[in-house]
Amino acid sequence: MSMRCPKCGTMYPDDARFCTRDGGRLVAFTPGGTSAFAPSRPALPDSHRTTPRGITPDLAQMHVINHTNMSGQVLDGRYAIVKKVGEGGMSFVYLAQDVSTNERYAIKILSPALSRDENAMARLRREAALGIRLAHPNVCHIVRMGETEDGLVYVVMPFVEGEVLADRTNRRGSLPMAMTVGFVSEIAAGLHVAHQLKIIHRDLKPENVMISTGPDGTEHAVVMDFGLAKERRAGGELEKLTATGIILGTPEFMSPEQLRGKPLDARTDIYSLALMTYEMLAGELPFEGRTQQEQMIARLRSDPVPIRQRRRGAEVPEGVERVLTKAMARNMEERYATAPEFADELREAAGKSGGAPGGVLGKIFRR
């Protein structure tokens, strides 16, 4: 039997008692990695919810056979997998519950191919270390990155329940000015925390923002998936691992400098946020093009279609158009320097027409 740190996952000999990395008390660990669990297991009493525990022998006997369908199993002796909530080309996302605390988490299970890629794993470990520092109400940050004894790699994040911003906009066609300004202000607040840590998102888009409803009915925008995040002042080695923006990012919302593979900073995320704002208000993006490639070329060579031209049947203050035009400037030097500056200017411009009252951040946005 070995000892394991429940915080960082580091393994120790059976006579060790504390983790040398973070000082946490070690728990007993029997080899076996992940294991099945009984959904009918009663919840632990409150007096036992704060202390992590090791894997019991009967659980340790069973291994995960198919990591693409882990519902009903316990990951690493700690996270009871409830159900799959999403998947991509290189990972699967599950809703899970900590067996010790009953806290709910979203866990991203990496594919075996990605887990075996040394360069990709070096990048992901670096990003996880950065992501842990992004604790903020408007950011879904990384709680920890772990690896089981049998090589299964996973990332733990808070579970955010709600509606994806892209679905909200598609369902409604466009969003009211006050609702848009409120969401933009909250997204900008989350981004600013990352930017102050010299981290940029690189892949900001409506699909990566969740609209979560609190107990009092208040809605909050939460920026998701900092999986492509990187330090703004990264060294050459990290640059090699992350490659260029033309590879990492979603073309529809990438900035001109990202399309060209140029150095990026916070103004790249501001550009993407401006495109999202435009789409929320107009129901479509500001560049013409029959194909994705034509739209990418338009962003490199053309000015965006003015939003008041797109929304002729709805009132859009001239000031809002001016703010969006500045935030979407092809030359990043001409954009706003910070996300809150863009959000504040937008709020002020919208408020002059009565579209976004001063207390918009505390407004309850009904679906």
In the chain, the amino acid numbered 188 is A
Tokens of 138: 């408007």
265 annotated active-site: no
Residue in 308, 322, 363 with CA at minimum distance from that of residue 180: 363
Which DSSP state fits 307?
H
Q: Could you tell me if 73 and 34 are in contact, meaning their C-beta atoms sit under 8 angstroms apart?
A: yes
**H or E element at residue 150:** none
- CA-CA-CA-CA torsion sign (226, 231, 232, 236): negative
Phi, psi of 270 (to 5 degrees): -65, -40
| Interatomic CA distance for residues 297 and 238, integer angstroms | 28
DSSP symbols for 247-269:
TSS-GGG--HHHHTT----HHHH
**H or E element at residue 344:** helix 339-351
The three-class DSSP label of residue 122 is helix
Q: Could you tell me if 52 and 76 are in contact, meaning their C-beta atoms sit under 8 angstroms apart?
A: no
Tokens of 69: 């369908």
Which residue of the set 22, 76, 203, 265 is catalytic?
203
Which DSSP state fits 24?
P
Q: Could you tell me if 136 and 185 are in contact, meaning their C-beta atoms sit under 8 angstroms apart?
A: no
Residue in 6, 26, 7 with CA at minimum distance from that of residue 16: 26
Q: Could you tell me if 138 and 189 are in contact, meaning their C-beta atoms sit under 8 angstroms apart?
A: yes
Active-site residues: which are they? 203
